[in-house]
Amino acid sequence: MAWTILQPFPYDFDIPDTTTKSILRTDGVRVTLRNILSVVSISTAFTQLNCEGSLLSVTMPHKEAALACSDEVDPIAKYIGAVNTLIKRPSDGKLIGYNTDYTGAISAIETTLQGSSGKVSAGSPLADKVFVVLGAGGAGKALAYGAKEKGARVVIANRTYERAKELANLVGGQAISLADLENFHPEEGMILANTTSIGMHPNIHDTPLSKQALKSYALVFDAIYNPVVTRLLREAEELGVTIVTGMEMFIRQAMGQFELFTGLPAPEKLMRDTLLSVQ
C-alpha cells in the first residue's frame, strides 16, 4: 500500500517546494511526505502531483479550503469548520474530509492530566474544569469543541474579539478579550491551550501570555510544534505548571489519520520516533 502525505505548509522543516521525502516504511506500507508550497486548488492536488495513495494531510492555513473542497465532510469536522485530513474514497474517488486535530490535542491533555494526578477516574479529567482557548482559528475551534465535548467550561480569548464571540456561541462558552485574559483567574487549576501562532519559529522569543498570568493554570498546552518547547511552555514549566507540547498533538493527530486511512492501529512507536527525529 502506498500512502502519500501532502503537507501544504510552508513553515515546516525547510523542505523545498514539491520535494518528496520518504518518512517511514513499514511492511507493506510506504509513506511519503511531499511538501507543496503553492497549492492552487487542494482538490486537484492529488492529480496535479500524480501522488500514489490517497490521503492529504492539511495544515494551516488550508483547513477551511480543505473543508470547502470535500465532497463529503465528517459531521464533527463540519461542526468545527476545519478539515485536516482528506481521504480519497477508493470506491468512487470522492474526497471525504475529517478532523483529527481535536482528538489528538484533547487525548494528549487528558493523558497528561491523568498521569499527573495519579488518579484513575471514570470520566474525563477535563470535566467541569475551566478550559481557556487562546485563538479562534482552525486549531482553536478543534480544541474548543473537544474540551466542551469532555464537559469543560470553555472560555475563548482571541485578538479579534468577534471571532472569539462567534466560537464561544458555537460551543456554548464564554468570550473574553486578550487584554482581560491577563487578569483572568476565576479559580485555580485552570487549563490553558494556546492555538495562536505566537511563539512559532522564527519568532521564538514571543509569547501570548505573561509568565505572571500562567500561575493560575494547572496545565498549559501549546499547539505550536516548532519549536517543541515554546517560550510559553518554558515559562509555565519554570513555575511548576504541567505542560503538553504541540508535538504530542501532532503525533496523535497523525495516528488518527493513519487509523482512518488504513483501519489499522497506528504504529505509535514508529511514528513517534520518526516525527521526533525530523526536528
Ligand X SMILES: NC(=O)c1ccc[n+]([C@@H]2O[C@H](COP(=O)([O-])OP(=O)(O)OC[C@H]3O[C@@H](n4cnc5c(N)ncnc54)[C@H](OP(=O)(O)O)[C@@H]3O)[C@@H](O)[C@H]2O)c1
For ligand X, the binding residues (CB under 6 A) are 60-61, 63, 101, 104, 135-140, 158-160, 163, 195-198, 200, 223-225, 246, 249-250, 253
Smallest gap from Cβ 142 to ligand X, in A, equals 7
Residue position matching grid coordinates 474540551: 147
C-beta closer to ligand X: residue 149 or 206: 206
Q: Are 21 and 262 in contact (CB under 8 A)?
A: no
Q: So which residues are the catalytic ones?
A: 63
C-beta closer to ligand X: residue 48 or 160: 160
C-beta closer to ligand X: residue 120 or 221: 221
Burial (CB count within 10 angstroms: exposed 0-12, middle 13-18, buried 19+), residue 38: exposed
> What are the cell numbers at 166?
462567534
**Distance (Å, rounded) from C-alpha 231 to C-alpha 233?**
5
- Per-residue CA distances from 276 to 13, 23, 250, 269 (Å): 12, 11, 10, 10
Smallest gap from Cβ 160 to ligand X, in A, equals 3
C-beta closer to ligand X: residue 123 or 228: 228
